[in-house]
Structure 1
Amino acid sequence: MTAEVSFTIDTPLGSRSTSVTYRREGTGEPLLLLHGIGHHLQAWDPVFELLAADRDVIAIDLPGFGTSPALPEGTAYDLSTVVPILGALCEALGIERPHVAGNSLGGLLALELGREKLVRSVTALSPAGFWTPSERQYAFNVLRMMRRVAKALPVPVIERMSRTGAGRTALTSTIYARPGRRSPEAVVAETLALRTAPGFGQTLAAGQDVLFTDDVPGVPVTVAWGSGDRLLLRRQGVRAKHAIPGARLVRLPGCGHVPMNDDPALVTRVILDGSRPVGEVPSRPETQLA
Structure 2
Amino acid sequence: MTLHHAADPSAEAEPYLDTLGNLCDYYDVDAESKYVELDGPASRVHYLTAGEGPPLLLLHGLGSTAAVWIPLLDALTDHFTVYVPERPGRGLSSAVDYRKTGFRHFSVDYVADFLDSLGIDETAVMGNSLGGFQALALAVDYPERVQKLCLVGAPAGLSRSVPFLFRLFDVPLFGRWLFDYTTAETIPEARAAARRLDVVDDSALPDCYFEVGLLGEQLPGQHESLWSLLEALGTFRGMRQRFDLREKLAGSEIPTRFVWGTEDYFWPPDVGEETVEAMPNAELVVLDGEGHVPWLEPNAAAEEAVVEFLAAE
TM-score greater than 0.5 by the shorter chain:
yes
Answer with 172-181 or 97-106: which moved more. Answer: 172-181
Q: Residue by residue, what CA displacement relative to the aligned partner does 1:74-115 show, whole Å, maximum 9, x if unpaired?
A: 851412112111011011122221101000001111111112
Instruction: Give the one of 75, 78, 83 matched to 2:108.
Output: 83
Question: Which residue is 1:212 aligned to?
Answer: 245
Residue 119 of structure 1 deviates from its aligned partner by 1.5
Distance (whole Å) between structure 2 residues aligned to residue 142 and residue 42 of structure 1: 27
Residue 260 of structure 1 deviates from its aligned partner by 1.8
Question: Which residue is 1:38 aligned to?
Answer: 63
Question: Which residue is 1:175 aligned to?
Answer: 198
Counterpart code for 1:234: P
Question: Which residue is 1:200 aligned to?
Answer: 226
Q: Secondary structure at the match of 1:70?
A: coil
Q: Aligned in 2, Cα 1:206/1:180: closer, same or farther, shift over 3 Å?
A: same
Distance (whole Å) between structure 1 residues aligned to residue 104 and residue 308 of structure 2: 27
Q: Aligned in 2, Cα 1:30/1:194: closer, same or farther, shift over 3 Å?
A: same
Q: Is 1:148 the equivalent of 2:146?
A: no
Distance (whole Å) between structure 1 residues aligned to residue 75 and residue 277 of structure 2: 31
Question: Which residue is 2:29 aligned to?
Answer: none
Q: Aligned in 2, Cα 1:6/1:252: closer, same or farther, shift over 3 Å?
A: same
**Count of residue pairs the alignment pairs up:** 262
Residue 169 of structure 1 deviates from its aligned partner by 3.4
Counterpart code for 1:58: Y
Q: Is 1:232 the equivalent of 2:258?
A: no
Instruction: Give the one of 135, 148, 152 matched to 1:110.
Output: 135
Q: Aligned in 2, Cα 1:102/1:24: closer, same or farther, shift over 3 Å?
A: same
Distance (whole Å) between structure 2 residues aligned to residue 247 and residue 194 of structure 1: 36
Instruction: Give the one of 91, 109, 118 matched to 1:93.
Output: 118
Residue 200 of structure 1 deviates from its aligned partner by 1.6
Instruction: Give the one of 279, 294, 299 matched to 1:244.
Output: 279
Q: Is 1:127 the equivalent of 2:152?
A: no
Kept in 2: contact 1:225–1:250 (CA 8 A):
yes
Question: Which residue is 2:95 aligned to?
Answer: 70
Q: Residue by residue, what CA displacement relative to the aligned partner does 1:121-166 show, whole Å, maximum 9, x if unpaired?
A: 110121012224xx32536247779843454x5x4xx14x26xxxx
Kept in 1: contact 2:158–2:244 (CA 8 A):
yes
Q: Aligned in 2, Cα 1:139/1:252: closer, same or farther, shift over 3 Å?
A: farther
Structural mapping, 1:5-44, within 5 Å: 5-9=35-39, 11=40, 18-44=43-69
Q: Percent identity?
A: 24
Kept in 2: contact 1:6–1:17 (CA 8 A):
no
Question: Which residue is 2:212 aligned to?
Answer: 189
Counterpart code for 2:146: V
Kept in 1: contact 2:56–2:83 (CA 8 A):
yes
Kept in 1: contact 2:38–2:45 (CA 8 A):
no
Counterpart code for 1:207: L
Kept in 1: contact 2:163–2:266 (CA 8 A):
no
Counterpart code for 2:162: R
Kept in 1: contact 2:259–2:306 (CA 8 A):
no
Distance (whole Å) between structure 1 residues aligned to residue 253 and residue 165 of structure 2: 31
Unpaired runs of 5+ in structure 1?
281-290
Distance (whole Å) between structure 2 residues aligned to residue 137 and residue 228 of structure 1: 13
Residue 265 of structure 1 deviates from its aligned partner by 2.8
Q: Aligned in 2, Cα 1:114/1:150: closer, same or farther, shift over 3 Å?
A: same
Q: Aligned in 2, Cα 1:266/1:96: closer, same or farther, shift over 3 Å?
A: farther
Residue 191 of structure 1 deviates from its aligned partner by 4.3
Counterpart code for 1:129: G
Instruction: Give the one of 251, 258, 279 matched to 1:223.
Output: 258
